[in-house]
Structure 1
């Protein structure tokens, strides 16, 4: 993958007393800054830092102002943007890839001083770039270098203090690459081909297959998922499909009966999910969870993990009716043939007694 960044000259602002002129000097040409391209290779991804299901890769461009000649002392202003169409992906039925580009625009100000002999601009030469100051769209200062900001220092006695970037505000463009959390194409007729699914099975001689079991599902709001909503599909026993909106960071609730299944058609690899079933009286809970195709783990009410692309992502719940305090009442259907025979016996006896009485009369 590659990412391109462009620098557009805005204007030159000369020093004025102990400050900088408010108006640009149009007579001074702002030098062009070359566009920068940053590429990420497959090897970069393999060497990436894997944390919480996400790979983080950081790269820097070459020196943007290296070799650039600035004609006069003063402040040169540019805007910096990222192109938003530098990557395309071939269609793949097994996965969906996409890149979210950073829409931020930064203002770059380059503070330039003359040589130490104080030569004027006509005969002097530019000594150095004294400071580089970058601000975001809200005019907040950000750090243009990968080092910790240093205290404000004067450029020289006749020039103003250059503001120091505030800590934790960096001149970064953040790009998020996502791929569907699945190793196979989704088949709408089989929810178990979905990137993530949750199934329900109920067992036991006295189990109620019509009973609703309550669930809570949470998708962690990380850089892959924040600001997006995901649709949880619930396939009912009559093949109807209900839908529940899941907002990362906000737990969503739903219900499942025996034989029903909940699933996402689209959710990215790296998403962190947490599923929890509410305790139900007279039922023993168990689940088998698989994430990224790894060896399944067993639990009871709760399961959590990071979705991956190397195999199934699923949680299969099984609830077994344990008898509890249920006491059989009424007529059990299993005994009905014997009860019928007894009733038939009583009926025959009554008929015999009535008939004999008639004969005796």
Structure 2
């Protein structure tokens, strides 16, 4: 009985091992049905494009830039042990793809990036036989863009994406639609230690679009000297100054009897630009430096003809300014918001608030004037007026009472 059981167990084990070896021998192409894989419809070529994501803050003109992606064939073995197919000039070679930006590519309000794509990367690519083709996809570094720089000082910067990806292209033989081959599926994996997950497409449809490379464009505020310059990001035209101030907030006191030594109190709060990676900025009142943490209300005091000056602020920053009301004074502001001149009036003796002002690439300044009306001499002490009225009423009453007594 035991021998029979052991015999059956051995037989079953051999069968299981044989089955596994058979399944391992079946060509498979790494989880083709995953939702991260671009799949063809029928036996037509799947279409895939790569998105370039350019992070940029508001108040900045999109730079002149051209980003280039390369597709380098990679050697290795498929998961069924078969070597990757060899790429030649006539079989599977993919030319570099470029994405270009200019000032006409405007950032949509409320967005923090501009996205453009390569178009179908397999357009004009020929495959002569079936198999798995693998490429390393990367972006050329520090290529296709020029900083706006004078001397050793630049007013802008570009952070390139140095990630790379394995792109797996599965090519199959046509069976039902004639001879030849077609691109059946494509998927991407980021090249990092231990990475196994595929990159999911940001958009599916006739073309699968993948957000693989994200660059960050940053610019210092207030450095474009001509607010009407139609090409503020052309590094060759020279209408910019690295030494221009990013923001100047000035206090002016107006009125013949106004106190020009009086300190006026402000609460100032900065909101960081969408591309900012620091936590604070620094301004100066005279020779005294003051640090402003993003999102934190900071109190400052300014008297007549005194200014808070910021040499450098990232373009795309916003600020809120609240002046505490002063008895008898009326505050108003004349300011530039990214080169546009604006005005705001206040109310006598009350707080004066300016909310969410943009600090852009063009001139930014703010002059807050506190006005005090002149005192008009009347020859009458207004402070004693109530007592004078009381005396007058008393005299009038005495006269009326005396007249009635005489008549009686």
Tell me if both proteins adopt one fold, taking TM over 0.5 as the criterion. Answer: yes
The match for 1:298 is 344
The match for 1:29 is 86
User: Among residues 315, 318, 321, which one is paired with 2:369 in the alignment?
Assistant: 318
Deviation at 1:315, TM superposition (A): 1.4
Unaligned ranges ≥5, structure 2: 1-64, 226-239, 347-351, 375-408
1:273-312 equivalent positions in 2, closer than 5 A: 273-280=319-326, 283-300=329-346, 301-303=352-354, 304-309=356-361, 312=363
d(CA) in 1 for partners of 2:128, 2:321: 59
User: Among residues 39, 57, 78, which one is paired with 1:14 in the alignment?
Assistant: 78
Matching of residue 234 in structure 1 with residue 284 in structure 2: yes
Unaligned ranges ≥5, structure 1: 119-123, 151-163, 324-361
Deviation at 1:199, TM superposition (A): 0.6
Note if contact 2:269-2:298 (Cα within 8 Å) is conserved in structure 1.
yes
Note if contact 1:277-1:302 (Cα within 8 Å) is conserved in structure 2.
yes
The match for 1:64 is 121
Distance 1:227 1:91, change over 3 A: closer
Deviation at 1:75, TM superposition (A): 5.8
The match for 2:269 is 217
What SS does the corresponding residue of 1:173 show, helix, strand or coil?
strand
The match for 2:187 is 132
d(CA) in 2 for partners of 1:70, 1:232: 62
Distance 1:283 1:229, change over 3 A: same
User: Among residues 95, 98, 109, which one is paired with 2:156 in the alignment?
Assistant: 98
Matching of residue 51 in structure 1 with residue 119 in structure 2: no
d(CA) in 1 for partners of 2:141, 2:359: 30
* Alignment length (residue pairs): 279
Deviation at 1:47, TM superposition (A): 5.3
The match for 1:176 is 217
d(CA) in 2 for partners of 1:125, 1:26: 21
What SS does the corresponding residue of 1:174 show, helix, strand or coil?
strand
Distance 1:98 1:70, change over 3 A: farther
Note if contact 1:38-1:59 (Cα within 8 Å) is conserved in structure 2.
yes
The match for 1:349 is none
What SS does the corresponding residue of 1:228 show, helix, strand or coil?
coil
Deviation at 1:298, TM superposition (A): 0.8
User: Among residues 66, 83, 101, which one is paired with 1:40 in the alignment?
Assistant: 101
Distance 1:187 1:132, change over 3 A: closer
Deviation at 1:187, TM superposition (A): 9.9
User: Among residues 237, 253, 257, which one is paired with 2:303 in the alignment?
Assistant: 257
- CA displacement 1:321-357 (0-9 Å, x = unmatched): 689xxxxxxxxxxxxxxxxxxxxxxxxxxxxxxxxxx
d(CA) in 2 for partners of 1:132, 1:258: 65
Deviation at 1:112, TM superposition (A): 0.5
The match for 1:331 is none
What SS does the corresponding residue of 1:46 show, helix, strand or coil?
coil
Note if contact 1:109-1:134 (Cα within 8 Å) is conserved in structure 2.
yes
Note if contact 1:234-1:260 (Cα within 8 Å) is conserved in structure 2.
no
- CA displacement 1:130-173 (0-9 Å, x = unmatched): 233354857654344644699xxxxxxxxxxxxx99xxx83343
- CA displacement 1:66-100 (0-9 Å, x = unmatched): 3143754236252423412432246459x954332
TM-score computed with the length of structure 1 as normaliser: 0.60
TM-score computed with the length of structure 2 as normaliser: 0.55
- CA displacement 1:163-215 (0-9 Å, x = unmatched): x99xxx83343342536424436697xxxx62321011234636362525232
The match for 1:84 is 142
Note if contact 1:203-1:321 (Cα within 8 Å) is conserved in structure 2.
yes
The match for 2:252 is 201
Moved more, 196-205 or 5-14: 5-14
The match for 2:173 is 115
User: What is the alpha-carbon root mean square deviation over aligned residues?
Assistant: 4.1
